[in-house]
Structure 1
């Protein structure tokens, strides 16, 4: 029979790495978009 589930016994290291990568990409994309908006606001015609 399969092992019984025990709360708090799951390995989440891969999930934590994936989430950290997602947050890093989100941060840099947000900074890039803000930089584009500032550039457009400064050099608009």
Structure 2
């Protein structure tokens, strides 16, 4: 079995995937927050 050496793996794809996930999550939260605010104004 090969020795594992910390920090040698290429993680560019994982970093891009994580960045996409964070961007998607932030945008989704903003859309939901705007929707809640609009519902509050309409329901008032």
Q: Common fold, TM-score beyond 0.5?
A: yes
Structure 1 portions without partners, runs of 5+:
none
The CA distance in 2 between the partners of 1:14 and 1:5, in whole Å, is 20
Confirm whether residue 12 of structure 1 aligns to residue 11 of structure 2.
yes
If each structure's helix is expressed as a fraction of its own residues, which one has the higher value? Answer: 2
* RMSD over aligned Cα atoms: 1.3
Structure 2 portions without partners, runs of 5+:
none
TM-score of the aligned structures, taking structure 1 as reference length: 0.85
TM-score of the aligned structures, taking structure 2 as reference length: 0.87
Runs of 4+ in 1 over 3 A off after TM superposition: none
Q: What's the offset of the Cα at 1:8?
A: 1.0
Q: What's the offset of the Cα at 1:3?
A: 4.3
- How many corresponding residue pairs? 44
